[in-house]
């Protein structure tokens, strides 16, 4: 218990004992006034108990019957809706199946597209790339020359990596 | 907390009833409803002060309890668990009513003013008419004082003073800390003492 309200409530309800009780009572500025208030709280409790007590529920059996009816109705509605759900799932074109069919079609389309792209001929590529591919390294001048090409199509970049080249071919001119 | 069943019945089969409910046995749930219906109705009535609303909210609470009984793990007493549902339903309803600002008078209060003390339609009871009137007046004062409290303060004071529930049980039922329960109890008592001092001093 931390606050004064909590301690006061516990004191009124006789929940304090021992050192805690002594400490709390010592902290009260006016013990007599506190005792009066404690007596007031008791009177209030008595009044509430006496006047509010247990309220009679008239038609008790009807009350239970009505609860029973509502439960039965609720259960019937629940089973109806689950029945509707199962009826929906028995038809072939359910939403999950449609989704699966769509995904499968998309996957087939992508595979076909990749296949077609892979099969493209070099002549369909850019003129710049064609020019590079047509460039020849003279085997007499540079017998150990190797030419590698790296291409990043989406960035429109092609890197021609040459090694062991003594001189550039005379007819090569990148534009 | 007392139930409508005998203690032996309650001790022997409450958990068993819950297990049967979890297996879908509505008869077992009927038995639980029978045990708790008066307490639940009474608690709700003291919070909302309308028989019709208390009836509907109690029905609603039991229906919710049935729907979620499979989630009851038995870590707390069944009545604490059902009180939690009852409190959620009732506090929620009170909040919505506050937001709507209906400001409707409680049906019993209206009833009080409409009944002519000399009328032959006043039900016969053992108490004398003026005693009944006085009692009705006191009850109306108490109910009016309770309406001055927040829904949470109402719940706390009724569970403590009428149901004799422990702080930890109230905390569990309201889903808050014990400190919060004690603090709400402090302010609820102060407010009711101020509003009802003349009533309890003169009894």
Share of chain A above pLDDT 90, in %: 33
Residue B9 is predicted with a pLDDT of 52
| Residues B84 and B145 sit within 8 Å (Cβ to Cβ) | no
Q: Which residue carries 């190797």 as its tokens?
A: A146
pLDDT in tens, A67-85: 999 998 888 887 787 777 6
Residue A41 is predicted with a pLDDT of 92
Give dist(CA B165, CA B186) in Å, integer.
16
Question: How many residues comprise chain B?
Answer: 203
Q: Enumerate domains of chain B plus CATH numbers.
A: 1-104 (1.10.1740.10)
Task: Assign 3-state DSSP to chain A and report helix, strand, coil percentages, each to 5.
Answer: 60, 10, 30
| Residues B68 and B22 sit within 8 Å (Cβ to Cβ) | no
Q: Which of A44, A55, A72 sits opposite B193 (nearest CB)?
A: A44
Phi, psi dihedrals of residue B116, rounded to the nearest 5°? -80, 125
Q: Which residues in chain B show pLDDT less than 50? A: 1-3, 5-8, 12, 103-124
User: Considering only CA atoms, which of A41, A49, A14 is closest in space to residue B158?
Assistant: A49
| Residues B59 and B44 sit within 8 Å (Cβ to Cβ) | no
Give dist(CA B118, CA B115) in Å, integer.
9
3-state secondary structure of B102: coil
Cβ distance B33 to A10 less than 8 Å, yes or no, reads no
| Residues B84 and B175 sit within 8 Å (Cβ to Cβ) | yes
pLDDT, mean of residues A11-40: 91
> Is residue A36 a part of any domain in this protein?
yes
Q: Which domain holds residue A34?
A: 4-52
Residue B117 is predicted with a pLDDT of 41
Give dist(CA B13, CA B78) in Å, integer.
12
- pTM of the model as a whole: 0.65
pLDDT in tens, B118-132: 444 444 456 677 777
Residue A149 is predicted with a pLDDT of 74
Residue B107 is predicted with a pLDDT of 40
> Is residue A97 a part of any domain in this protein?
no
Cβ distance A64 to B186 less than 8 Å, yes or no, reads no
> Is residue A129 a part of any domain in this protein?
yes
Residue after which a domain boundary falls, among A52, A69, A91: A52
> Is residue A65 a part of any domain in this protein?
no
A172: confidence class by pLDDT, cuts 50, 70, 90: low
> Is residue A130 a part of any domain in this protein?
yes
Kindly list the residues from chain A whose CB atom is less than 8 angstroms away from the CB atom of residue B37: 57, 60, 63-64
Structurally, how many domains does chain A consist of? 2
Cβ neighbours of B68 (radius 10 Å): 11
The string of DSSP letters for B103-165 reads -PPPHHHHHHHHS-TT-TTSPP-SS-HHHHHHHHHHHHHHHHHHHTS-HHHHHHHHHHHTT--
Give dist(CA B71, CA B69) in Å, integer.
5
pLDDT in tens, B4-16: 544 445 554 788 9
Q: Is residue A101 pLDDT above 80, yes or no?
A: yes
Q: Work out whether the CA dihedral A4, A7, A9, A12 comes out positive or negative.
A: negative
Instruction: Check CB contact of B41 with chain A, cutoff 8 Å.
Output: yes
Instruction: Check CB contact of B30 with chain A, cutoff 8 Å.
Output: yes
pLDDT in tens, A32-45: 999 999 999 999 99
pLDDT in tens, A114-138: 888 877 655 555 555 555 555 556 6
pLDDT in tens, B19-32: 999 998 989 999 99
Question: Which residues between 91 and 120 in chain B have a beta carbon less than 8 angstroms from any beta carbon of chain A?
Answer: none
Give dist(CA B145, CA A91) in Å, integer.
62
At a CB cut-off of 8 Å and minimum separation 6, what does B93 contact?
B48, B53, B57
> Is residue A108 a part of any domain in this protein?
no
């Amino acid at each position: 218990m931390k606050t004064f309200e909590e301690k006061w409530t516990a004191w009124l309800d006789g929940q304090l004992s021992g050192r805690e009780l002594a400490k709390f009572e010592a902290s009260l500025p006016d013990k007599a006034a506190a005792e009066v208030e404690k007596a007031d709280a008791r009177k209030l409790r008595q009044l509430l108990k006496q006047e509010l007590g247990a309220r009679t529920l008239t038609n008790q059996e009807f009350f239970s019957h009505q609860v029973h009816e509502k439960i039965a109705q609720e259960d019937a509605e629940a089973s109806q809706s689950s029945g509707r759900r199962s009826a929906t799932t028995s038809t072939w074109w359910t939403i999950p199946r449609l989704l699966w069919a769509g995904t499968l079609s998309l996957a087939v389309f992508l595979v076909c597209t990749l296949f077609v792209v892979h099969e493209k001929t070099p002549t369909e590529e850019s003129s710049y790339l064609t020019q590079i591919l047509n460039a020849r390294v003279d085997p007499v001048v540079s017998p150990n020359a190797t030419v590698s090409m790296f291409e990043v199509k989406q960035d429109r970049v092609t890197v021609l990596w040459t090694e062991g080249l003594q001189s550039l071919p005379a007819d090569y001119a990148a534009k | 907390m007392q139930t409508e069943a005998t203690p032996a019945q309650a001790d022997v089969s409450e958990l068993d009833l819950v297990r049967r409910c979890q297996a879908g046995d509505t008869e077992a749930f009927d038995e639980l409803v029978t045990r708790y219906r008066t307490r639940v109705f009474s608690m709700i009535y003291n919070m909302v002060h309308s028989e019709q609303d208390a009836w509907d909210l109690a029905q609603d609470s039991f229906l919710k309890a049935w729907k979620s009984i499979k989630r009851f793990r038995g870590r707390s007493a069944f009545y604490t668990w059902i009180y939690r549902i009852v409190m959620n339903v009732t506090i929620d309803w009170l909040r919505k009513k506050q937001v709507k600002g209906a400001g409707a008078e409680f049906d019993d209060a209206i009833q009080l003013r409409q009944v002519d003390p000399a009328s032959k339609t006043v039900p016969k009871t053992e108490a004398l008419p003026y005693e009944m009137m006085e009692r009705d007046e006191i009850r109306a004062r108490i109910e009016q004082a309770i309406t001055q409290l927040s829904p949470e303060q109402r719940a706390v004071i009724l569970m403590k003073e009428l149901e004799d529930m422990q702080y930890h049980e109230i905390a569990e039922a309201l889903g808050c800390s014990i400190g919060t329960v004690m603090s709400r109890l402090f302010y609820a008592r102060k407010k009711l003492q101020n509003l009802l001092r003349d009533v309890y001093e003169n009894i």
